[in-house]
Amino acid sequence: MHSWWREVSCEQVPSLKKKEAEKASIDIKGTWTIIFCQNAFGFDAPLVIGEKEASWPKGIVNLFDEKPGKGSVKIDATKNPPTIDLKVGDKVYKGIYRAQRLTDEFKDQEDLLIILSEAGGDYPKGIDLKKPFETTPKGFKGFLFGGKRKVK
């Protein structure tokens, strides 16, 4: 279990305040600003998710050796939880995600939480994405990161 995740307060990551999310599914294609990854906070790294490709023009801390890059992406929003497959070079990362539009003072913002397995791993299991501050299961090896974007 990542201890940093339990220690995060709403004031540290205001976009993740416990707010009621809209029930409608959010299309995750587009540009997101990654605001945290594993135990790193306070940076703005873009993540662009397209129809078949994802790219990160700047390195993302603790993710893919912090180097800019791109990979092929496959999203299945019909699964519960929704899944995302990211292929970078010959490595495949399988993951789950939560995308939501926030209400109240953050109503103009959407949040994205992605949990990817380590390369070659299976989809993460036993994670309740409905909780605002989910911890990863004990022994989980992979990546946990989140982003935000303005609602168009």
CATH 2.40.128 given to domain 3-15+29-150: yes
Structure tokens at 117: 């397995």
What are the angstrom distances between the C-alpha of 66 and each of 26, 63, 69, 112, 118? 27, 6, 9, 20, 15
List the domain boundaries for the chain. Answer: 3-15+29-150
Q: What is the pLDDT along the chain (152 residues), one digit of tens a residue?
A: 333 333 333 333 334 333 333 334 689 999 999 888 765 555 688 899 999 999 988 777 666 667 788 999 999 999 988 999 999 989 999 999 999 887 666 678 898 989 888 899 999 887 777 765 555 667 777 888 888 998 87
Whole-model pTM: value is 0.76
